[in-house]
Amino acid sequence: MYLSKFSQVVARASMSGLAGAAKGNAGFRARYTLPDLPYDYAALEPVISADIMKLHHMKHHATYVQNLNQAEEKMVAALQKGDLKSAIELQGVMKFNGGGHINHSIFWQNLSPDGGKEPTGTLQEAIKRDFGDFESLKKLISQTATQVQGSGWAWLGYNKQAKRLQVAQCANQDPLEATTGLVPLLGVDVWEHAYYLQYKNVRADYVKELWNIINWKDVEERFAQANSSAN
């Protein structure tokens, strides 16, 4: 969704030339913006402190948005000049910062001060079908998150082709759907900036506490939408 304009530029470029593609798309470009949180910075305490939330949202996520806008501007300029080399070189920057924007925009919605309950309805049924029970899913996601080497994410995603839930691991800010094809439902951010000020280097404690603020209503809505579009 967030990289749709970039994808349209590339698609049009392949059909009618780089310069023409950039000229045809430059007029409708809109800058990416930092989304507001659906709760106060202190609302997720004691699981996540207000200081961490402020830093994570106002500094880290904001930086991804700023860098994404700058990279896209450079991309359009390169396409306008027919500079394929520079356009290709910018793909890594677009992926990292675009992924950071996508991932965090989902992550904020995945959390809630009223969260922590168990999933219900069709999502609950799908979890039982694909993982046996909810506790098995929690254990698998927790293991996947704690075993990320360096920085990255653990995800619960939906495989549209197999019509099944899957747990996956993504390095750095790689966006789940663009890199694996899985539709993101629930993300666990295990970059140190997400927890270090509070949990130090004990990532497992952070992941364990995070289950107390998971917004299963949001995850259920994402699952319903992904499941509907797959049918």
Are residues 77 and 144 both part of a single domain?
Answer: no
Same-domain pairing of 18 and 105: yes
Round to whole Å and give the CA distance between 150 and 174: 13
Clarify whether residues 162 and 218 are in a common domain: yes
Q: According to the model, what pLDDT value does residue 41 have?
A: 98
pLDDT reported for residue 130: 98
Q: The domain containing residue 165 runs over which residues?
A: 121-230
Confirm if 22 and 6 have CB atoms less than 8 A apart: no
Decide if 218 is inside a domain.
yes
CA distance 65 to 209: 28
- Predicted confidence pLDDT, tens digits, the chain (231 residues): 334 444 443 333 332 333 333 444 444 467 999 999 999 999 999 999 999 999 999 999 999 999 999 999 999 999 999 999 999 999 999 999 999 999 999 999 999 999 999 999 999 999 999 999 999 999 999 999 999 999 999 999 999 999 999 999 999 999 999 999 999 999 999 999 999 999 999 999 999 999 999 999 999 999 999 998 866
Alpha helices in 58-195 (DSSP H): 62-80, 84-89, 91-110, 121-131, 134-146, 176-180
Q: Domain of 76: which CATH number? A: 1.10.287.990
Closest to 21 measured CA to CA, from 9, 3, 30, 29: 9
Domain contains 62: yes
Both 103 and 127 in a single domain?
Answer: no
105, 125: one domain: no
Q: Do the annotations mark residue 189 as ligand-binding?
A: yes
**The pLDDT value given to residue 229:** 82
Residue 226 included in any domain: yes
Structural domain ending residue among the three candidates 62, 89, 110: 110
Asked if residue 219 and residue 169 are part of one domain, the reply reads yes
Within-domain flag for 155: yes
Is residue 56 a known part of a binding site?
yes
Q: Are residues 53 and 74 in the same domain?
A: yes
Distances (CA, A) of 36 to 41, 106, 138: 11, 12, 28
Secondary structure class of 170 (helix, strand, coil): strand
| 209 found inside a domain | yes
- Is residue 40 situated within a structural domain? no
Residue 79 lies in a domain: yes
pTM of the predicted protein model: 0.87
Domain end residue (candidates: 110, 131, 159): 110
Separation between Cα atoms, residue 186 and residue 111, nearest integer Å: 9
Same domain, yes or no: 155 and 176: yes
The number of domains in the chain is 2
Do 127 and 97 reside in the same domain of the chain?
no
Task: Check the annotation: does 61 bind a ligand.
Answer: no
What residues contact residue 153 under an 8 Å CB cut-off, 6+ apart? 103, 145, 169, 170, 173, 174, 176, 187, 188, 189, 190
CA-to-CA distance for 217 and 120, rounded, in angstroms?
9
Verify that 170 and 206 share a domain, yes or no.
yes
